[in-house]
Structure 1
Amino acid sequence: MSLQQSDSHSIETRRVAIFLVVAYGVAWATAAALFLTGGLTDSPELLPGLGITLATVLLPTAYMFAPALGNVAARLLTGEGRKDLQIRPHLRGSLRVYAVAWFAPVLLTLVGAGVYFAVFSASFDPELTTYTEALRQAAGGDIGIDPWTLVAIQLVAAVTIAPLINMLFAFGEEFGWRAYLLPKLLPLGTRQATLLVGLVWGAWHWPLIAMGYNYGFEYPGVPWTGFLAMCWFTLTTGVFLAWVTLRSESVWPAAIGHGAINAVAGLSVLFVAGQPNPLVGPTPLGLVGGLGWTVAAAWLLWRSEVFTGTPPVDDASSSDTADATTAEAR
C-alpha cells in the first residue's frame, strides 16, 4: 500500500498516541537526565581528555532514536507488525529523489546564507578571523594549515561522505517522523499532515533549545523565541523531507536529506564576524538564513503533485491513456 493510498483511511489514534508518548517520553526523559547532570554546557566527561561527554553520547543515541523507538513500540503494542515499514530503498525508481535529497540541502542552505550576508554585510568575515582564532586556541598555537583549506574540506565532506555518516543517526528520527507519523496523519490531507508533523518534530526539540542547543542563550526572548524559530525550521525542512519520502515511498531519502542538512547547517558560521542573532541567521535555523528552505517548502506545497494530488501529464501517461481509449473503442 502506498503512502498516498492511506489517505482514505481514518487516523489510527491509539497508535499515534503510543508513538508520541514513547517518542517524546524517551527524548524528554533523556533531556531531563542531561539537565540534572550539568546540561549541555557542563555535561560530565565520560572519557577525560577526549571531549566525550554524557551529552555527546546521549544526544545521537537515546534522544535521536526516540522516534524510532516510538515506531517500534506502537507496532508491538497494537499488533501492527511490520506493515508498511517504508524501509525498502526503491532505488530503481527513485534515483533522482535520492540525488535531490543528497544535494539540495547544500544548495538551499548556501542560498539562505548568501541572502543573510548580503543583507547583513557587516557580519561577513572573508578573512575567517573568528574561525582562525578558535582554531589557534584549540591547537594551542599555530594551526599549521590555511583555514580556507579546512573550509574547503568541510564543504567537500558535506556533499560527499557526511550525509551518509549523518544518515545513520538521522534514521532514528526519520523512521519515526516520516516513516510512521506522517503516514498515520495522511487522512488529514497531505499538506496538513506534513505541516503537523513538522510542528510535532519542532516541539520535540524544545528541552534541548531550553538548554542552549542550536541557539545558545544570547538572543531576545530566550528560550521562547528559540522554540518558535525551531518550529519554523522543522516546518520548512519537514516539507522537503516529507516530499522525498512520499515520492520514494521509503525512509532512506529522508534520512539522507536529514543527514545532509546536519552536515551543511553550520558552515556559514565559519564566516561570521561578531555575535549575530541566531534567530535571524546565518544558519538555516534563522529566519533569514533559512529563506532558501522557506521558498522551497512553499513551492513544493503549492506546485508539487505530491501535495496537490494532480500528477503531471507526461508522454508515458498520455500514451497509456491513448492505448486505453483505443482498447475501449475496439
Structure 2
Amino acid sequence: MSNRTQIWLFLGLVVVASIVFNTLIIGGGGLGNPATHKWVVYIMWAPGLAAILTTLLATRSLRGLGWCPWPVGQLAVGWAVPVIYAALTVAGAVLLGAGGFDISRWQEAAVARLGLNVGPWVGLLALSAVGTLTSLTRAVGEEIGWRGFLVPALGREMGFWRLSLVSSLIWLAYHLPVLLFGGYAGEGTPVWYSLICFTALIFIITPFFNAIRLRSNSFWPAALAHASHNLFIQGILVAAFVPGPQAKWLTGEFGALTSLVALGVVGIYFVVVGVPRTAHE
C-alpha cells in the first residue's frame, strides 16, 4: 500500500467515525447535555484507532507510530510550552483589567476534585499531576493519529511548513461540527468569533506539536502538549481566574489573547531551536 493510499485510508476512517460520533453528540443536544460527554472520548480516540488499523493493514506492524516515550527533554518541552502560554494569557487578562486571580481557589478545587485539604500551591501541584494523567488518556487517542501516523506520512510527501498547513486544516475540520453545532464554543461570544479565535490557535500550535513529534520520533511529547493545553487552558488556570465581563473575549481556546500569546511563545520556540526537516526534504 502506497504512502498516499495510507493517508487517504486513514482520513476516510476518521471521517466515518467522526460522522457517527458527531451525530450522537449534536443529536443528543450537544456538549451542554452531560449525557453526550461519553461520546467525546470515542471521537477523540477515533484518529488513534484509525491510525492503528491503517498501519496494521499497510505494514502489519505498529512500530512506525512512535511509541517510545523519549527523549525526556522533548517530553518536558511538550508539557511546559502550553503551560507558559496559558499562564501568560491569564496574566495578560489580569493586567488588562479583564479579571482577577485568587489562588485560594486551587485549594478549594483540590478538596472538591481530589479530596485533598492542602494549601493552594500544593493543590496546584496535585491538580496538575492528576489532571495531566487524566487529560492524557484522551489526548493520546488523537495524537496517535495526528502526530503518530499523519505527520510522518505527510512528511514523506512535503516539507515542514506545508505539512503543518495541511495538518492544521485537517485538525480544524475535525473540530468544526461540534464547534458550529455542538456547543463547543466560547460562552457569551458569537460562534463566528469562537471560530476565528479557535482557527488561529489551531494554526499556531500545530507546527509546535509537529516539530516536537519530528524531533523526538515519538508522539508522546505532542500527546503531553495536547493534554497540557487542554488541562491548563480549560481547567487549572480557569479555576483560579476570576473573570470580568471582557474575559470571555480574551481567554480560553476561544479568546483572542490566547492566540496572540501562543503565537509569541511558539514563535520564540522556533527562533531558538529552528525548524525540523521532514523525510521529503
TM-score range with shorter-chain normalisation?
0.7 to 0.9
Residues 127, 74 of structure 1: alpha-carbon distance in 2 compared, 3 angstrom cutoff: closer
Equivalent of 1:262, from 230, 238, 257?
230
Hey, what does 1:18 align to over in structure 2? 9
- Inter-partner Cα distance in structure 2 for 1:39 and 1:297: 32
Hey, what does 2:74 align to over in structure 1? 97
TM-aligned CA deviation for residue 172 of structure 1: 0.4
- Inter-partner Cα distance in structure 1 for 2:263 and 2:100: 25
TM-aligned CA deviation for residue 17 of structure 1: 1.4
Matched, 1:248 2:216: yes
Q: Deviations over 1:9-63 (max 9, x none)?
A: xx8322111111222321232111122222222x3xxxxxxxxx43221112x11
Name the aligned partner's letter for residue 79 of structure 2: W
Hey, what does 2:168 align to over in structure 1? 198
Q: Deviations over 1:115-149 (max 9, x none)?
A: 23323x0x2134699x89xx9xxx9xxxxx99x95
TM-aligned CA deviation for residue 214 of structure 1: 4.1
Matched, 1:291 2:263: no
Residues 269, 196 of structure 1: alpha-carbon distance in 2 compared, 3 angstrom cutoff: same
Secondary structure of the corresponding residue to residue 272 of structure 1: strand
Q: How does 1:269-288 map to 2 (within 5 A)?
A: 269-270=238-239, 271-276=241-246, 278=248, 280-288=249-257
Equivalent of 2:90, from 113, 135, 143?
113
Name the aligned partner's letter for residue 242 of structure 2: V
Residues 180, 208 of structure 1: alpha-carbon distance in 2 compared, 3 angstrom cutoff: same
Structure showing the higher helix proportion among its residues: 2
Identity of paired residues, percent?
A: 23
Matched, 1:70 2:40: no
Q: Which runs of 5+ in 2 are unaligned?
A: none
Residues 260, 128 of structure 1: alpha-carbon distance in 2 compared, 3 angstrom cutoff: closer
Runs of 4+, deviation exceeding 6 Å = none
Tell me which of the two structures has the higher relative contact order, counting C-alpha pairs closer than 8 angstroms and 6 or more residues apart.
Answer: 2
TM-score of the two chains, using structure 2 as the length reference? 0.81
Secondary structure of the corresponding residue to residue 84 of structure 1: helix
Q: How does 1:72-221 map to 2 (within 5 A)?
A: 72-79=52-59, 81-89=61-69, 91=70, 94-119=71-96, 121=97, 123-126=98-101, 152=121, 155-157=124-126, 159-186=128-155, 187-210=157-180, 211-216=182-187, 218-220=188-190
- Number of matched residues? 267
TM-score of the two chains, using structure 1 as the length reference? 0.70
- Inter-partner Cα distance in structure 2 for 1:196 and 1:300: 21
CA contact under 8 A between 1:198 and 1:235: conserved in structure 2?
A: yes
- Choose 1 or 2 for highest CA Rg: 1
Equivalent of 2:39, from 58, 61, 64?
58
Answer with 100-109 or 246-255: which moved more: 100-109
